Amino acid sequence: MTPNIGKITSQQFHDWIVSIVNEGIFISRERLTALLAKKSPHEALEEEFREFFNGYYALALELEEHEELVLKIIKATDALAHLNHRVSAVEAQRKSSPLGREARRMGLSLHSAPVPKIKVAALSVDEFQTLMRTLGNWQIFVSRERLVKLMKTEKSSEIAERLRAEFCEFFVSYLELELFLENYDYDPDDGLELRPEFIEELERETEYIRSGGKMYTLEEVAEELGIDLKCMN
């Protein structure tokens, strides 16, 4: 169940944050930084960036549904007023919808979504390394370290309040990272080999359709499962 972070207790919030700060993107960032420091081969950086991007995707899945509530908390809290101009900048510059951003993370695109300007696969070695350094030094990683430090501090009402405030800082940094990546066209599955069992299954499905098998629309599947579809925009 998704927690309502505006209503859960300090302990519940602390426990939830544990999973956030341990997402794969933070582990991958350390490896990526080490590879850059050692001037590792380009192929090693490309492979680690795939892990980094998949970790970012997992983090986004965890955080994006809390966006509306977090932004309300920021706007209603005087101590967080300094974050408002950063939030406004993100909202003003965003070009895609939540569904469009979801599709982009999966290497897909919507007809109505803007086409990213920069293809990661077309970057030169130097340009790719510059991108990796930019991502590795993003503010979200600094904020994550502050969260971890606060979580290790002896619990008190003051620490609990600071933890929630730092999380809002962390969340805004995440929004800024999301906005930055909006300009990059990248498919983490590009170049990966398909597993033989997947190819066989795909061929069976293709043959089934060719022989007259029925394809179901999303609406038909939803009706069969008793799910109400909602438009995201």
Instruction: Give pTM, 2 decimals.
Output: 0.78
> What span, in angstroms and rounded, lies between the C-alpha atoms of 228 and 222?
7
Decide if 120 contacts 205 (C-beta within 8 A).
no
| Sign, CA torsion 166/150/178/61 | negative
**Residues making up the chain, counted from first to last:** 233
Q: Which residue has the higher pLDDT, 98 or 47?
A: 47
Point out the least confidently predicted range of 79-88, 92-101, 150-159: 92-101
Q: Residues 177-201: pLDDT tens digits?
A: 999 999 998 888 776 554 555 456 5
Decide if 150 contacts 166 (C-beta within 8 A).
yes
Q: How many Cα atoms within 13 Å fall on the side-chain side of residue 172?
A: 22
What residues have CB less than 8 Å from 84, skipping those under 6 apart? Answer: 74, 75
Mean pLDDT of the chain: 84
185 three-state secondary structure = strand
Backbone angles phi, psi at 144, to 5 degrees: -60, -40
Backbone angles phi, psi at 33, to 5 degrees: -65, -40
Q: Residues 5-31: pLDDT tens digits?
A: 777 888 999 999 999 999 999 999 999
Q: Which residue has the higher pLDDT, 229 or 169?
A: 169
Q: How many Cα atoms within 13 Å fall on the side-chain side of residue 140?
A: 22
Q: How many Cα atoms within 13 Å fall on the side-chain side of residue 186?
A: 22
- Nearest CA-CA partner of 167 in 73, 40, 233: 73
Question: At 4, is the pLDDT very low, low, confident or very high (cuts 50, 70, 90)?
Answer: confident
